[in-house]
Amino acid sequence: MWIFRILYAIFIMAAFIFIRDRLGIDLTHAVLYSFGVIFAIVFIETLISDIKSYRFFSGVIGAIVFLIIGYSLASIFAAYFNNDALRLAFYFFVLYLGVNTGQKFSWVIEGIMTRLMAKQPKHQKYTSTAKALDTSTLIDGRIADIVDTGLLEGALIIPTFILKELQNIADSHDHLRRQKGRRGLNVLKRLQEQTILPVDINNTDFSDIGTVDEKLVALAKKMKADIITTDFNLLKVAEIQNIKVLNLNNLSMAMRQTVLPGEEFEISVVKEGKESNQGVGYLDDGTMVVLENGRKLIGRTVKVIVTSLLQTESGRIIFTKVKS
């Protein structure tokens, strides 16, 4: 291809030289004009070959900038450019130089265009807030089942001071406390093994703060996180400081089966009630069901009708009678 370009350039120059008399120009002008045409052809070819890339735009910009510079130089040194042919040849040379220089810096244009044309990420209206867990939540154990449902979002934060408290409970000489501590450690291990939510063992500590609950509140405030707990006192302290708290006990009560007076269902009577002749059973969610005259039905599964409901601090109690 380069051989063709060279031969074609020689042909253009020879044509201008041979017909210079007919064009009314001398040899010098003929050579200058032929160079101008050759430069124009190379310029157009260069632009067309890169028309689908940023090199085209950068070449055009370079050509415009260098033409402006060339025109300014020709005006300043007008005494040296008193010949139109020389001026035209100079412009062609500057034009070619501008195209090549502009294309060498095409990465600048590409970077600017890419940044301008890049799609801005959509602002998320809802964000996932991290959840800080206290010791009571880990010992309770229900958090692992809740995480498995996929209803929670955001990272789970386990501060090291909570982990130390849990280890101290697990090392306790009291059998019940030791069992609770070990269950909490098992729940923590289960949380770390699941892949639904990330678990962060956070090393942040507050040496100037005494109690673990106060440290947890300070950490939640610092990290702008929520708190998950079953501790009523921690819930109140956090709410006073405008920290959002998820109480697992409230969540459990909200998820209990809804029944209304007059509804029917089956219940297994497992023990006697406090009042005379009462039997007691439980729904799958742990709700206590009191059966009127159900003492003699202990160990049997019967169909009952709801007569009334009672909401207490410890939960809800459903009063029923046997369907006749």
- Tell me what percent of the residues of the chain surpass a pLDDT of 90: 30
Side by side, the strands of the sheet bearing 131-133 are 199-202, 156-159, 131-133, 226-229, 245-247
At 314, the pLDDT band (50, 70, 90 cuts) reads: low
Q: Is the pLDDT of residue 179 over 90?
A: yes
Handedness of CA 54, 55, 57, 61 (dihedral sign): positive
Mean pLDDT on 284-304: 88
Mean pLDDT on 267-273: 91
Residue 54 pLDDT: 64
User: How far, in Å, are 76, 188, 278 from residue 80 at the CA level?
Assistant: 9, 87, 120
Q: Any idea which residue has 């709801």 for tokens? A: 306
Cβ neighbours of 109 (radius 10 Å) = 21
Mean pLDDT on 292-301: 90
Residue 126 pLDDT: 44
CB 66 within 8 A of CB 93: no
Residue 190 pLDDT: 93
Q: 18 or 102: whose pLDDT is higher? A: 18
Q: 47 or 224: whose pLDDT is higher? A: 224
pTM value is 0.49
Q: Is the pLDDT of residue 204 over 90?
A: no
At 206, the pLDDT band (50, 70, 90 cuts) reads: confident
At 11, the pLDDT band (50, 70, 90 cuts) reads: confident
Q: 271 or 251: whose pLDDT is higher? A: 271
- Tell me what percent of the residues of the chain surpass a pLDDT of 70: 85
Token pair belonging to 292: 């009127």
Domains of the chain: residue spans and CATH = 2-117 (no CATH), 131-254 (3.40.50.1010), 264-322 (2.40.50.140)
Mean pLDDT on 259-287: 87
Q: Is the pLDDT of residue 69 over 70?
A: yes
Helix (H/G/I), strand (E/B), else coil: 309: strand
Mean pLDDT on 152-163: 91
**For residue 118, what are the contacts with CB-CB under 8 A and spacing of at least 6?**
none
Give CA angle at 188 (183, 189), nearest 5°.
Answer: 95
Q: Any idea which residue has 């415009």 for tokens? A: 64
- Lowest mean pLDDT segment, chosen from 105-119, 144-158, 224-238: 105-119
Residue 2 pLDDT: 65
Q: Is the pLDDT of residue 154 over 90?
A: no
Mean pLDDT on 59-75: 81
Give the chain's mean pLDDT: 82
The burial class, CB within 10 Å (0-12 / 13-18 / 19+), for 286 is: exposed
User: How far, in Å, are 127, 143, 266 from residue 323 at the CA level?
Assistant: 50, 38, 10
Mean pLDDT on 22-44: 76
> Tens of pLDDT along 82-134?
766 677 777 777 877 877 787 777 777 667 766 766 554 444 444 578 999 99
Distance in angstroms (rounded) separating the CA atoms of residues 203 and 193: 20
Q: Is the pLDDT of residue 32 over 90?
A: no
Mean pLDDT on 157-164: 92
The burial class, CB within 10 Å (0-12 / 13-18 / 19+), for 284 is: exposed
Residue 123 pLDDT: 43
Q: 65 or 40: whose pLDDT is higher? A: 65
